[in-house]
Amino acid sequence: MKLKIYGIIGIGLVITLIIIGFYLYPKPFIIDESFENGFGEWSKDAHVPLDPNNPGHEVFWNISRTDSLAHSGSYSLNFSIDGMQDDGTIWVERKVLVKSYSNIKVRVSFHLYSSSENQAITIARVVAFVGNSNPEVEDDFQILGPTNQVLGWREYTYEANLNTCSSDEIWVAVGITVSWETYLSYNIDDIRIEIT
């Protein structure tokens, strides 16, 4: 009889531990943006050279929503820049609220559209940023790889471990940087941020 009771208590304990473990197990915090209703929390930014053909002005660049191309839904963001000065980085960025003084892993994934395949020449590079402060210059970014690996959509991902220090926010950004002297146009859609 005693054995039976211990057995039942034992099983009960194991079940309780499994349930507690399930609730304590870190679940990823996920943010998805497909740009179907505006920019969401994202905003555009750039670090580009002056345009010698237009004194006193930066080279042309723009990031805008378009319904002419989409990875999912009807809209994506079009990234355009005059790369004739062989320089310039443009991106979208956002902050994410997190717990201060915690070690987190941030995974950013997104889909980029190239209108042609060209593996012989690096026309542009795909860049991303994860950090404690607002990215402002090209050097803040990590290069994920070249564009134009395929004609069409290709997924890029970036993962970074971070200590949030005293701040309760982190910044995430994705974009492109010029590598070839030409006018560039790429689309980005379905940015996902996963924090664990």
Q: Which stretches of the chain bind Ca ion, using CB under 5 A?
A: 34, 45, 70, 73, 75, 134, 136, 189
* 84 or 188: CB nearest Ca ion: 188
CB of 48 to Ca ion, least distance (A): 13
Give the nearer residue to Ca ion in terms of CB position, either 75 or 113. 75
Distance of alpha carbon 109 from alpha carbon 189, whole angstroms: 10
Query: C-beta of 44: minimal distance to Ca ion in Å?
Result: 9
- Per-residue DSSP letters for the chain? -HHHHHHHHHHHHHHHHHHHHHHHSPPPEEEEE--TTTTTT-EEEEE--B-TTSTTSBPPEEEEEESS--SSSS-EEEEEEE-TTS--EEEEEEEEE--TT-EEEEEEEEEEEESS--SSS--EEEEEEEESS---SGGGPEEEEES-SSSEEEEEEEEEEEE-TT-SEEEEEEEEEE-SSSEEEEEEEEEEEEE-
Using CB atoms, what's the residue nearest to Ca ion?
Answer: 34
Residue whose CB is less far from Ca ion, 82 or 171: 171
What is the nearest approach in angstroms of Ca ion to the Cβ of residue 140?
9
C-beta of 47 vs 104, nearer to Ca ion: 47
Shortest gap between Cβ of 124 and Ca ion (angstroms)?
20
Quote the least distance from Cβ 105 to Ca ion, whole Å.
Answer: 23
The smaller minimum CB distance to Ca ion, of residues 42 and 59, is found at 42
